[in-house]
Chains A and B, each alone.
Chain A
C-alpha cells in the first residue's frame, strides 16, 4: 500500500505524530549541522557565540523535525537556486506544476517550515515565463480548505459514513469487479501518467467506457473545431506575440480562454507604444476582460458571434484561395455586410473596415473565436469559420503553430457520446459510474436531465475533493488529494513537467493517479509509475539524472516548437454550419465564464468569491447583466432581484446594468450556485447551467431566449466600486497612439500645468536622508498600456500579506480589506464605452497626509521613502484613512483571525507578515518583508540589493509585466527607466503628496 496514505494516518493521533517526529530526527542526524553551517556561511550571525549556537541548534532541531515530518517519503527535489534543506525562517522554493483539466500550469511553490504558503509563476518555464492568473494563486487556499474531504466516505442507507481511503478504494475495486456495465465520466486530463493508469483500467472495458466532457466548453469546442477544419484534433499554439492585428470573436483570451496567463504575457509584450504596438479588435456580447482591453470593441447581440465570423469571412473571401469553393461560398453567402450588421448590431462600414485592416496584415494577424459565451449548440462551428479566416489570411502556421500543439492527444468525447451516456444512465443500463473529479450534476446543463439520470445508476463512485453535488449522489466517495499533495506529471506545448508534492497529504486522501493505479489493479506506486513507465518517453539521457533535473527545474522541454507550414483547410466542414439569418427578438441570454470563479470547480474558496469581478466589480455573486435601455424600458433598477426563466427552468439573480451590452442581450456567469461544496460556496449566486441548452450536437450557452421578471427590490449586491465615471479627473490617463507619436505627454490634463511648488515647509529631500541610513529609494511604475485588470496581482497580494476575507455583508458596507484594488472606469457613451483599469495600492507619498495626522506615530516615513505602518502602535483613530486621498488604508472593523479561521486554513498564512488584530489600520507596505529579507541577504554578502532578487507580490503576480518595483534612486534599474518615461504621471499630483507610484499613460492603438 502507498506510503503517503499510511503516513497520512499520523495526522489523526498526537502520539503517532510524536513518534513520526522522533523517527525523523533519528533518520537524518546530519541535517542540523548542515542547517547551522548554512547559517554561518550566510553570515546571519557573524559573532556566533556558544549561546547563539545552541539557540540555533535547538531551533533547527525542532523545526527540522516538524518540517521533515511534513515532507513526502519519496525524494523530492527543491528548486536549485535555494538551499537544499529547509531551514527555520528560510523559505524553500519547489518548482512543480498544477496539472488539471484546464491544462498544465507551471508553478513555483514557496514553503516555510515544510508548509507551502504561496504559489507563484515559474519564470524559467519556456512557455509560461512565470505568467499566472488569479485562478493559479488561489490554489493555496484550496489546499488548506477546511471543507475538503478529510477521508473517504461510503453511503450506507441514506447518509454517508467515513471510511479510510485505502478501504474505500478496495471496496471500489470490488464493486467494479462484479459489475458488467462500468462507465467513467471525467474531465479532461493533461497528465500522461494519469491517462496511462486510467487506460489500463479502461482497456479491459472497451473504448467507449469513458466519457470526457468540458463544463466550460472552451477546450472541447476548440478541439472539435480543429478536428473539423484540419482533421487534427489538437489545441494549437496561438502566438499573440507574433500578431500585429488580433481580432477576437467572443474569445476572452486575456481572462478565461484556454491559457489566459500565457496569452496575456504574449499580448502585453506587444503593448509597448515605443515599439511595434499591436492592435486588438474584439466583437462580443458581454464585456469580457479582453473586450475591456480592446482598442476597438464591437458589442454584438447575444447569439450572433457565428454570424459576425461569417460576415467577416465573406468580406475577406474575394481574391483568396477559397474564393471559388462552393461550400465556403454557400456558407457565407447570406452574410453580406449589411445583413451581418442587421443581425449582430454592428455597422456595416465597421465590418468592412476591419476586413480591410486584416487584408493589410496577411500572415501578421490572428483571428480567434470561441469560448463558453459562443457555444451555440453546434460544437466547434465558430472555430471552423475562424480557421477559415486564418487560412484565408495565411496566418495558419505563422501566428498559429500546430507542430507542437498545446494539447496533442486530447481525449474529449463528442457531445453525442455524452448524450448517449446520460440516456444509458436514464434507462438503467449503467451499473457503475465512476466520476473522475467530475461534478456533472452541478456543471452539466439541467436540460441534459443528469440529475434524474444519475439516480438510476446502481453504483456511483466519485473521486472528489469535496462532497459536491455529484459526490453526494454517490454510494462511494474516494477522497482525492490536492495537486500540491500529490505526484503527477503533465505534458503540454511540448514541455514535460513533473509535478512533485510539496507537502504530505494533510488528510487521508490519495492522488488521483494513485487511485487509478489501484482501480486498474496495477501493483505499483504512482511515483515509480511516473518515473519508470512514463517519464522515459519524454526525458532524454539517463533517466535518474534527467528525472531529478526535471524535478528541480520543474519542467523538461521534450519538443521544441517554432513556426510551421500552413495546414490544408477542409472547406467541407462549413457545409454543416447553421447560423441565424435574422436578428433575434426579445431578451436573449449569453452565459460566460468569470475570471474569478471560472467553471466553479473551486467554488468553496472564499478568496475567489471576495475577488471582485474585473469588469463589474461585483463579488460574492453572479448577476444578470442587462443594458441600460432594457432596464429602463422594463422599469428595473439596481438593487432589484430578477428571475430569469427558460423552458420552465428559472433562477434568481440580482440585476447589474452593464455598459457596452447590446439592447435585448442579457449575460449571466456560470460556475456559481453550488448547493453542496462547503460552508463558503453553498448558496453563493445562482447556477446558470440551469438555463443552458443541451443536445447531442453540443450545449447551448449563447443566444438562449429567456423571460425575465423582477421578483424583489432592495436587494443588497456586494460591490467594491459603486461609481464608474472618472469625472475628467485624469486618474487613468490615456491617449491614441497617433497622438502619442507626436507628443509623448499626450493624455496629460490641464492642471498639470500649474502644480503646487513648496507649501508651508520646504520640500523634503529623500536622497540626503537616505545617506548612511540605507541608500535605496523605493518606487514603483505601473504601465497602464500593459495592465489588463486581470486581478492576478490582487490575489497574489492577498496571499503574500495575509489579507483577510470579510464576506458579502461587509463588502456591501464597503469594508473589503484588499491592500490593492483595481479601479475600473468607463468612458464614452454607455452603448459602447471604453473601459480603463488602474491598480491602486498605497502610493507611499513622500508628503504622506496620513502620517501628519496620526496622533500616536503609528505610521511614519522610512528614510528610503516607504510609508511604514506599526500595527501595535495603532489605536485606530482612522484619521489616516480619512486623510488618504487614495483611500487605500483598510481598518479591521472586527477580529478577522482569532477564532474566525478554521484548521488547517491557518497554514496558508505567511509567517513573515504580521496578522493584524481588530481595531488597527493596515495597508500596502510595498512588501517590506521581502525588501528586508533581501536586505539581509545583500548585507551578509556585502552587496546592494539586486533588482532581479526583489519583486513585490503584485509585480510577481502580474502576467502582463505591467508593474515594476525597485530603487528609483539608482540610474541602472528598470524601475528608474520606467519612472523616467515621459508618459509617466503621478495620480493626484495636484494635491502635492508626491506619490512614489508612477502610472504610464495608457496608449490605445486605434489603427
Chain B
C-alpha cells in the first residue's frame, strides 16, 4: 500500500536546483557549448535553464529520449477500445433497443464516438504524463535566476566541486557564477 506522501514524493521527484553553483550564460549558443563542456567534465548533477526550448540541448546534455508518445499510444488505443466495447455491450446486451430497423450491433454507427474517445484519452494522458515527467506542479518553486523566464540562460551544477573548477570548465561562456543557498545545509 503506497502512502499519499510517497505518491506526492514520486510525483514531484524533481532534482531541485538547490545547493551547488549556478553559472549564468549570455546566449542560447553559449548555453549549448556550456552544456557540452559540463557533460564532458563528467558532472553528474547538473541542469540547464532557458526562456525557450533550445534545439539540440538535450543531446548536448546527454538526456535520454522522451517516451511521452508511447503513453499517448497506449492510453489512446485503450480509450477507443473501451468506448467501442461499452457501446457494444449496451446496445446488444444491457439495453437492446430497436432503432429504425437497424441491427442492434450497428457497428458503423459506433465509429465516430470510438474515434473521439481515442483522441480524448490520448490527449489527456499526454498532458498528464508530461506534467509528471516534466516534474511540473510544485508552485512554490523559484527559478535559479529571475531572468530565466525572460532573457537569461543558466547552468546549475549540483556536484560538490569548487567555483574555480567550474569557471575553468566553462571559461568565457559564463558571466558570473553564484552559489545557490541550500536550505537543508544552512
A interface list, Cβ under 8 A from B: 760-764, 769, 845-852, 857, 860-863, 994
Give the distance to chain B from A442, nearest Cβ to Cβ, in Å. Answer: 53
In the complex, the answer to whether B97 meets A761 with C-beta atoms within 8 Å is: no
Contact with A along B89-114 (1 / 0, CB 8 A): 00000000111111100101000000
Give the distance to chain A from B99, nearest Cβ to Cβ, in Å. Answer: 4
- Chain A residue at minimal CB-CB distance from B98: A861
A861 surroundings in chain B (CB, below 8 A): 98-101
Contact partner of B103 (CB less than 8 A), chosen from A761, A850, A852, A863, is: A761
Chain A binding surface, main DSSP class: loop
Q: What are some 14 contacts across the A-B interface (CB < 8 A)?
A: A760-B108, A761-B103, A761-B106, A845-B100, A846-B101, A848-B99, A848-B101, A850-B100, A851-B100, A852-B100, A861-B101, A862-B98, A863-B98, A994-B101
In the complex, the answer to whether B106 meets A764 with C-beta atoms within 8 Å is: no
In the complex, the answer to whether A860 meets B101 with C-beta atoms within 8 Å is: no
- Chain B residue at minimal CB-CB distance from A860: B97
In the complex, the answer to whether B99 meets A852 with C-beta atoms within 8 Å is: yes
Contact with A along B138-149 (1 / 0, CB 8 A): 000000000000
B interface list, Cβ under 8 A from A: 97-103, 106, 108
Contact A857 B97, CB 8 Å, known A760-B108, A761-B106? yes
- Chain B residue at minimal CB-CB distance from A857: B97
B98 surroundings in chain A (CB, below 8 A): 764, 769, 851, 860-863
- Chain B residue at minimal CB-CB distance from A863: B98
In the complex, the answer to whether B101 meets A847 with C-beta atoms within 8 Å is: yes
Name, among A761, A860, A863, A994, the residue most crowded by chain B CB atoms within 10 Å (CB to CB): A761
Give the distance to chain A from B176, nearest Cβ to Cβ, in Å. Answer: 64
Name, among A762, A849, A851, the residue most crowded by chain B CB atoms within 10 Å (CB to CB): A851
In the complex, the answer to whether B99 meets A763 with C-beta atoms within 8 Å is: no
- Chain A residue at minimal CB-CB distance from B108: A760
Give the distance to chain A from B145, nearest Cβ to Cβ, in Å. Answer: 55
Give the distance to chain B from A181, nearest Cβ to Cβ, in Å. Answer: 75
Give the distance to chain B from A845, nearest Cβ to Cβ, in Å. Answer: 7
A761 surroundings in chain B (CB, below 8 A): 101-103, 106
In the complex, the answer to whether B103 meets A849 with C-beta atoms within 8 Å is: no
Determine the distance from Cα of A847 to Cα of B97 in the docked complex, in whole angstroms: 13
Give the number of A-B contacts (CB < 8 Å).
38
In the complex, the answer to whether B99 meets A860 with C-beta atoms within 8 Å is: yes
B106 surroundings in chain A (CB, below 8 A): 761
Give the distance to chain B from A494, nearest Cβ to Cβ, in Å. Answer: 54
Given contacts A760-B108, A847-B100, 18 further A-B contacts (CB under 8 A): A761-B101, A761-B106, A762-B103, A847-B101, A848-B99, A848-B101, A849-B100, A851-B98, A851-B99, A852-B100, A852-B102, A860-B98, A860-B99, A861-B98, A861-B99, A861-B100, A862-B98, A863-B98
A763 surroundings in chain B (CB, below 8 A): 101
B102 surroundings in chain A (CB, below 8 A): 761, 764, 852
Determine the distance from Cα of A761 to Cα of B109 in the docked complex, in whole angstroms: 11
B99 surroundings in chain A (CB, below 8 A): 848, 851-852, 860-861
- Chain B residue at minimal CB-CB distance from A992: B101
Determine the distance from Cα of A845 to Cα of B100 in the docked complex, in whole angstroms: 8
Determine the distance from Cα of A863 to Cα of B99 in the docked complex, in whole angstroms: 11
Determine the distance from Cα of A857 to Cα of B100 in the docked complex, in whole angstroms: 11
Determine the distance from Cα of A852 to Cα of B98 in the docked complex, in whole angstroms: 9
A862 surroundings in chain B (CB, below 8 A): 98
Determine the distance from Cα of A849 to Cα of B101 in the docked complex, in whole angstroms: 9
Give the distance to chain B from A443, nearest Cβ to Cβ, in Å. Answer: 53
Give the distance to chain A from B166, nearest Cβ to Cβ, in Å. Answer: 65
Give the distance to chain A from B109, nearest Cβ to Cβ, in Å. Answer: 8
- Chain A residue at minimal CB-CB distance from B95: A857
Determine the distance from Cα of A852 to Cα of B102 in the docked complex, in whole angstroms: 8
Determine the distance from Cα of A764 to Cα of B97 in the docked complex, in whole angstroms: 13
Give the distance to chain A from B114, nearest Cβ to Cβ, in Å. Answer: 17
- Chain A residue at minimal CB-CB distance from B106: A761
- Chain B residue at minimal CB-CB distance from A994: B101
A852 surroundings in chain B (CB, below 8 A): 99-100, 102
Determine the distance from Cα of A846 to Cα of B103 in the docked complex, in whole angstroms: 12
In the complex, the answer to whether A848 meets B100 with C-beta atoms within 8 Å is: yes
B97 surroundings in chain A (CB, below 8 A): 857, 860
- Chain A residue at minimal CB-CB distance from B103: A761
- Chain B residue at minimal CB-CB distance from A845: B100
Contact A764 B108, CB 8 Å, known A769-B98, A860-B98, A863-B98? no
Determine the distance from Cα of A846 to Cα of B102 in the docked complex, in whole angstroms: 9
A760 surroundings in chain B (CB, below 8 A): 108
Determine the distance from Cα of A851 to Cα of B106 in the docked complex, in whole angstroms: 14
- Chain B residue at minimal CB-CB distance from A765: B101
Determine the distance from Cα of A764 to Cα of B102 in the docked complex, in whole angstroms: 7
B103 surroundings in chain A (CB, below 8 A): 761-762, 764
Determine the distance from Cα of A206 to Cα of B106 in the docked complex, in whole angstroms: 84
Give the distance to chain A from B13, nearest Cβ to Cβ, in Å. Answer: 45
Determine the distance from Cα of A133 to Cα of B99 in the docked complex, in whole angstroms: 38
B100 surroundings in chain A (CB, below 8 A): 845, 847-852, 861
- Chain B residue at minimal CB-CB distance from A764: B101
Give the distance to chain A from B105, nearest Cβ to Cβ, in Å. Answer: 10
Determine the distance from Cα of A1000 to Cα of B106 in the docked complex, in whole angstroms: 35
